[in-house]
Every structure is written in C-alpha cells, then in structure tokens.
Amino acid sequence: MVSGAQQLRASLYAIRVGDIWAFMKRQPLSFWCINLYMFFEYVRPQQIYSEIDLLPWAWGFIWLAAAAFIFEGFKGRRLYPADKVLALFTAMVLLSSVMAIDPTDSLERLRSTFRGF
C-alpha cells in the first residue's frame, strides 16, 4: 500500500511532458525570444553551422524580446520559486565579482556575459 506522502512525492518528481508543453504554449512571444536568445548565446549553433552565421542572433533576440514585451503591454508574469533562485544566483555572481582578488579584472570579464548588447 502506498501512503499519501509517497504518492505526493512521486507526483512532484514526475516529469509530465504534456504539462510542460501546455505551460510553454501559454507563454508570450517575449518568453520565446528570451529562450531563443539563451539557446543562441550558450549553444552557439551559428558557430557550429556556418550557413546560419548571417546575423547577430543573440543581439536580435534580445531586442525582439524587448519589443515584444512592449507590445504585450508590459504584462508581468507570475513569479515562480525558480525566479527567486535565479535572482539569488545572479546576486551571488555579482557579489563574487566584487569580492574577487582582482575586482577590476573580474568586473571587466563580467561584461562578456552581456555580449548581445
């Protein structure tokens, strides 16, 4: 016999592709542009396939996301626990850059994170 706690734990850890896709379909264009930015910035398919290295993809998706956000009426979205974790991670990265052995060098290299601008 499976207890209620075990059932809850199993349902929390279950990966339900249908639920994930349903969530993704409800997201606005700005969400998709940010995801495409992250894909082009970190996977860098334009360096793997030189045929698509025609445009500054990451830069374009950042600006497209900003324009989409404006046209969406600056609608915010519900904050999720992952948002807090991402904000904490970003704060830790910035704090570690400021407290580095050579903060000047660290902060200069931090700018490379924002190459798209």
pLDDT digits (tens, 9 = 90+) for 9-32: 777 677 778 888 888 888 888 889
CB 33 within 8 A of CB 64: yes
From CA 21, how far away is CA 67, in angstroms rounded? 24
Give the residue from 93, 97, 77, 96 showing the smallest Cα distance to 85. Answer: 93
Which pLDDT does position 45 carry in this prediction? 92
Residue 77 clears pLDDT 80, i.e. is over it = no
CB 69 within 8 A of CB 30: yes
Which pLDDT does position 1 carry in this prediction? 57
Place 117 in a pLDDT band, splitting at 50, 70 and 90. very low
Residue 86 clears pLDDT 90, i.e. is over it = no
What is the domain partition of the chain in residue ranges?
A: 1-76, 78-112
pLDDT digits (tens, 9 = 90+) for 19-76: 888 888 888 888 899 999 989 988 989 999 999 999 888 889 999 998 998 888 877 6
